[in-house]
């Protein structure tokens, strides 16, 4: 009997993840390793990269690490190219992101630049680099980590929200331009997940109650549930999907009243 179960494995694939050493990026890195991928991991802290590399190599995963700030994406790309000059990269996850939560009238130009360069500018130029390599193989998966904040209004900062909305539109436009090269571009829009980025917010009981009031599933997400979506978007199971944003949000974005 023919099979209709797609393979969720990444054996023989090279996957790059930015923001790979904590929270969502770490969960995705481990899930991709479990699926058999060779990994390129990017974050700023060398010691975190080294310990994650050690853990993953102990389980048989080939890992290349680059310590760098994604705002200096050219330097990171240069280091990757030294190792992967004549090789393709099959999956690129633009996960690194940050937020400085403040009311609109208090936003400084320095804060604007840091949020925009980290969350949006780096994602575009990494996508540009990844696509150049994916075109040679005629296949690739670019996954952008957006947020529900890119789709509905949150109280956690307008600049962050703008960058996350931009990633959704960038996803659609790059999907349109690069579809003919077999490059799929999709995004993930998480609601709250327990990470360093959200730790302080999730320690505030009133804030958590506000989150749960807006969440049909009445709970905070588990990182495994987000990694699962990232595996789906990286494997053949999603090969006919491009330009889409999958909200992994406990139903938050459909909650009208």
Ligand X SMILES: C[C@H](O)[C@@H]1OC(=O)[C@H](O)[C@@H]1O
Ligand Y SMILES: NC(=O)C1=CN([C@@H]2O[C@H](COP(=O)(O)OP(=O)(O)OC[C@H]3O[C@@H](n4cnc5c(N)ncnc54)[C@H](OP(=O)(O)O)[C@@H]3O)[C@@H](O)[C@H]2O)C=CC1
Contacts with ligand Y, residue ranges (CB under 6 A): 18-25, 42-45, 48, 69-71, 95-98, 118, 145, 147, 190, 192-193, 195-198
Query: Annotated catalytic residue: which of 4, 160, 192, 240?
Result: 160
Q: How far is the CB of 123 from ligand X (least distance, A)?
A: 15
Which one of ligand X, ligand Y, none interacts with residue 166, CB within 5 to 8 A by kind?
A: none
**Binding segment toward ligand X, per CB under 6 A, in 7-15, 30-38, 191-199, 213-221:** 191-199
In sequence order, the 6+-apart residues with CB closer than 8 A to the CB of 175 are 184, 185, 186, 242, 243, 244
Relative orientation angle of helices 158-178 and 122-137, to the nearest 10 degrees: 20
Q: Is 41 helix (H, G, I), strand (E, B) or coil?
A: strand
Site for ligand X in 14-73 (CB under 6 A): none
Quick check: 41 and 17 in contact, CB under 8 A? yes
Q: What is the size of the binding site for ligand X (CB under 6 A)?
A: 13
Q: Binding pattern to ligand X, positions 118-157, x when CB under 6 A?
A: -----------------------------xxx----x-xx
Quick check: 221 and 192 in contact, CB under 8 A? yes
Quick check: 124 and 90 in contact, CB under 8 A? no
Closest CB to ligand X among 56 and 158? 158
| Catalytic site includes residue 73 | no
Q: Is 18 helix (H, G, I), strand (E, B) or coil?
A: strand
CA distance linking residue 21 with residue 111, whole number of Å: 23
Judged by the rule CB under 6 A, the positions of this chain that interact with ligand X are 99, 101, 147-149, 154, 156-157, 160, 191-192, 197-198
Known catalytic residues are: 160
């Amino acid at each position: 009997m023919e099979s209709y179960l797609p393979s969720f494995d990444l054996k023989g694939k090279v996957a790059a993840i930015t923001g790979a050493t904590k929270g969502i990026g770490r969960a995705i890195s481990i899930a991709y390793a479990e699926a058999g991928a060779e990994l390129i991991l990017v974050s700023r802290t060398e010691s975190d990269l080294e310990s994650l590399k050690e853990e993953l190599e102990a389980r048989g995963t080939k890992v290349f690490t680059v310590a760098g700030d994604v705002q200096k994406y050219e330097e990171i790309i240069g280091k990757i190219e030294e190792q992967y000059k004549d090789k393709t990269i099959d999956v690129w996850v633009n996960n690194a992101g940050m937020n400085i939560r403040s009311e609109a009238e208090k936003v400084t130009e320095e804060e604007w630049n840091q949020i925009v360069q980290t969350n949006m500018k780096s994602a575009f130029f990494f996508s540009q680099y990844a696509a150049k390599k994916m075109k040679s193989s005629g296949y690739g998966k670019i996954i952008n980590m957006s947020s529900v904040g890119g789709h509905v209004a949150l109280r956690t900062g307008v600049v962050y929200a703008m960058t996350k909305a931009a990633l959704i539109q960038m996803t659609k436009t790059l999907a349109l331009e690069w579809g003919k090269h077999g490059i799929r571009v999709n995004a993930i829009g998480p609601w709250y997940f327990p990470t360093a980025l959200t730790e302080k917010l999730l320690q505030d009981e009133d804030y958590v109650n506000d989150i749960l009031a807006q969440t049909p599933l009445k709970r905070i997400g588990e990182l495994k549930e987000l990694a699962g979506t990232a595996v789906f978007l990286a494997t053949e199971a999603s090969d006919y999907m491009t330009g889409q944003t999958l909200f992994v949000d406990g139903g938050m974005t459909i909650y009208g009243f």
